Chains A and B, each alone.
Chain A
Amino acid sequence: MNPSFHDQHDFCSDHGGEHPTVWDLPHVPLALKKEWLELETRRHFLGRGAKALGWAGLATILGRSAPQLLANAAAPEPGAMPTFVPHYAPKAKRAIYLFMAGAPSQFETWDYKPALADMFDKDLPESVRGGQVLTGMTASQARLPIAPSMYKFAQQGKAGHWVSELFPYTAKISDELCVIKSLHTDAINHEPAILQITTGNMFPGRPSIGAWLSYGLGAVNEELPTFVVMTSKMPIRANVQALSNRLWSSGFLSPEHAAVALRAGSDPVLYINNPKGVDGDLRRAMINGVTDLNRQLFERVGDPEINARIAQYEMAFRMQTSVPELTDFSDEPAATWDLYGPKAKEPGTFAYNCLMARRLAERGVRFTQVFLRSWDNHNNLPNNIKALAEDSDQPTAGLITDLKQRGLLDDTVVIWGGEFGRTVYSQGTLRPDNYGRDHHPRCFSMWMAGGGVKPGISFGETDDFSYNITRDPVHIRDLHATVMHLFGIDHNKLTFKFQGLDQKLTGVLPAKVIDGILA
């Protein structure tokens, strides 16, 4: 083997087994391989050069740590580069998204429908359904009998929101909430629907909201991930839907924008603790060595993924210090446990995760998403939803209260909701005290609070059956455009070139900022 060729083209750094490149192909003439290398390097180089001239100069240098800056500086498409500077001064610096996976029923939560009380077991009028295709789970039912909510509602606070008796704690802070009753989505089943609301697209492989924010705005605290996800212990295990990291992935964006999933227990981030016999200095020296090798490789081939890898090593190293401090709740005053409830001491519960979300917000983490599952109540809905409400009501209200008293609610937007709604008619046997509800994409309810959202208002309306929207529909895309807007981002302008398209969170169909809910 020609030694000079080996020197020049041994691309193996610390990583083995990654996908093959042209260099790995047999029978390709060397001249062709070299031409490919030149083209690749030239493409990356051009991207880098154009970026350096762009507006981004100061912002990227100021806003990101050195390794992240490197990663950014090498992004391949100058037209798609983020500048880490919002288009306009933001209202929200952070978001906490309480994701109720499985799709909570709007009837027992936020869309009060008193007229249904007199329609128990009546058939849903065909005119209301309007020929809508139902899921396989209820399409074959002989009847679609109306199931009124078993739970009572009362008006609360100055805003007068109708709040379900399932949420006594949330009722007390309901003046902070903007309740949107007119969300709608395109998908009728969980996986496409949950992908659409977390990533803007029903197909897997797109960056989620938090990844877009990380890409567009960068970190506030470079010692912690920009985007954190936590899944919660379930108070009941009924109709559990799977969660997977494609809901919080970076998609086609650089991998550093994906969420770090914090786990419950003594080891919140896997593999960041040093093994026995390795101390901090040795670990630092090792990472420095690997980074040097990676930098050399980057200089030769210009692949931005290499810098993403450098950034990941650095982030892991920094989390060795920042995560233990974050997860040590011993500095919390006694009042914290009254506020979030006793379960907040038990790692992995929804209450614990809510408290963790506040601690992350305090430390500057941009986007925290807490998942609570089991809301997919096809049967035994009254009992299951009660258990879920009991588990989540106090910590949810506690989180809002705590953010507000600490001055964080002003610039932290809190979002509560699932992936679609549920049907007015019962799935399976209907009894006054028990029933189920099937999936319903045409309307569902969510609430938002803080971060530039108008408090104490209700937005959008549905018909008496909460089947069709009658006023101010809000598509998932509009919700996404609005969240971006709160962060100071024009959703049409935060793009990333991929597969020949300027990709964006809101996709190619029209999306609008919901002006009516802005403070």
Chain B
Amino acid sequence: MAFSHNVKFFLAALLTATSASTAFSAEPALFEARVAPILEEHCVECHGPEKHKGKLRLDSFEALIVGGESDEVVTAGDPKASELFRRITLPETDEDVMPSDGKPHLSSNEIKVIELWIAGGASPTKRVGEFAGLPPPKAPKPPYVPLTPDWRPHAAELTALANSLHVRLVPRSRIATDGLVLRTASAPGRCDDAVLAKLARFAPFIAEAELARTKVTDEGVAILGTFENLVSVDLTRTKVTAKGLAALAQSKKLQSVNLTNTAVDDAAVAPLRAAHSIKRLWLFGTKATAFEAPVTAVAGEL
């Protein structure tokens, strides 16, 4: 019986698919727009072209409807009777739960999409607008933008230079184009303007400069202003003044500057405020007082 139901359902689905494909509609089908991507993300690795565990494939509507070795996995109109739905909603510790082997489970929103899709007839063509109560789609991930050039070809030189200057250059992440952090916390007293001058050769790789309590002065901060890929600078308890900040504001990608416990005032900070890339400016323990726009995120205010 299950088989005949399956065949009938499959034929019906095919017919619907054929007729719908001729009709023009700007609005996508729920299956295409929302269900297939969820299956792709969570299921297809094991139930797809490469592996098809349990003889089940979920990489196309047709394959999904056919089901696996132990029967169909979707009963149109009835999520509770659908093996697919049952498996993804089992408790995390259940040995039948899917995805298996500790892989991340579906979010409650993803489960809801599948539930609504099955309840609505498990159609390949039914439009998004025909489903009530759909959770909002996930915001698409913004495409990755490399921040710096790949530092790896220079690894040996960078290592030698950092060691000779008693600073650390640490990758921000395993993505080599996320750049390096200049780290001085172990020996801030050994980092001064001369160190920054020597690092300038590798400026494009440096995305963050942690310079709190260092001996850096305006001269060094001006050098930082030429670091084209710098996003964050911590100058807490340094001798930086207006002159240095004016030069630092030239750095085009700079988002965050920490000036806690420095001698700067509003006039000194003005060029940074005017720099449109700046999102965070920390001014605790300074003479600068106002935190208003264009600085979007306000420092020191609770």
Q: Which of B93, B170, B175, B185 contacts A63 (CB 8 A)?
A: B170
- Interface contact A85-B93, CB-CB below 8 Å: no
Of the candidate stretches A41-49, A194-202, A401-409, the one touching chain B is A401-409
- Interface contact A59-B105, CB-CB below 8 Å: no
Q: Which of B104, B152, B183 contacts A58 (CB 8 A)?
A: B152
- A382 CB-CB contact with B under 8 Å: no
Interface string of B107-139 (1 = CB under 8 A from A): 110000000000000000000000000000000
A218-233 interface (Cβ within 8 A of B): 219-223
- When distances are taken between beta carbons in the complex, the residues of chain A under 8 Å from B169 are 62
Interface string of B82-93 (1 = CB under 8 A from A): 000000000011
Least distance between B172 CB and chain A CB atoms (Å): 5
- A515 CB-CB contact with B under 8 Å: yes
Least distance between B171 CB and chain A CB atoms (Å): 5
A404-461 interface (Cβ within 8 A of B): 404-407, 410
- A492 CB-CB contact with B under 8 Å: yes
Least distance between A451 CB and chain B CB atoms (Å): 14
The residue of chain B having its C-beta at the shortest distance from the C-beta of A59 within the complex is B171
Which range holds the interface residue count of chain B?
35 or more
The residue of chain B having its C-beta at the shortest distance from the C-beta of A220 within the complex is B185
- Interface contact B186-A221, CB-CB below 8 Å: yes
- Interface contact B93-A62, CB-CB below 8 Å: no
Interface string of B164-177 (1 = CB under 8 A from A): 00001111111100
- When distances are taken between beta carbons in the complex, the residues of chain A under 8 Å from B212 are 362
With A57-B155, A62-B159 known as contacts, the answer to whether A223 contacts B186 (CB < 8 A) is yes
With A63-B168, A404-B302, A407-B299 known as contacts, the answer to whether A85 contacts B174 (CB < 8 A) is yes
A296-316 interface (Cβ within 8 A of B): none
- Interface contact B107-A65, CB-CB below 8 Å: no
- When distances are taken between beta carbons in the complex, the residues of chain B under 8 Å from A405 are 260, 282, 284, 299-300, 302
Complexed CA–CA distance, A284 and B90 (Å): 61
Mostly, the B contact residues are loop
- Interface contact B174-A407, CB-CB below 8 Å: no
Name, among A57, A219, A406, the residue most crowded by chain B CB atoms within 10 Å (CB to CB).
A406
Mostly, the A contact residues are loop
- B142 CB-CB contact with A under 8 Å: no
Least distance between A397 CB and chain B CB atoms (Å): 9
- B236 CB-CB contact with A under 8 Å: yes
- Number of A interface residues in the complex (CB < 8 A): 46
- A89 CB-CB contact with B under 8 Å: yes
- Interface contact A62-B158, CB-CB below 8 Å: yes
- Interface contact A510-B105, CB-CB below 8 Å: yes
- A34 CB-CB contact with B under 8 Å: no
Least distance between B269 CB and chain A CB atoms (Å): 14
- Interface contact A407-B236, CB-CB below 8 Å: yes
- B20 CB-CB contact with A under 8 Å: no
Interface residue ranges, B against A (CB under 8 Å): 92-93, 97, 102-105, 107-108, 152, 155, 158-159, 162-163, 168-175, 178, 183, 185-187, 212, 234, 236, 256, 258, 260, 280, 282, 284-285, 299-300, 302
Interface residue ranges, A against B (CB under 8 Å): 55, 57-59, 61-63, 65, 83-90, 172-173, 175-176, 219-223, 333, 362-364, 401, 404-407, 410, 472, 475, 488, 492, 508-513, 515
Write 22 A-B pairs (CB below 8 A) sorted by A numbering.
A58-B152, A58-B159, A61-B159, A62-B170, A88-B173, A88-B175, A172-B302, A173-B302, A176-B302, A223-B186, A333-B285, A364-B186, A405-B260, A405-B282, A405-B300, A406-B260, A407-B236, A472-B108, A488-B173, A509-B93, A510-B92, A511-B102
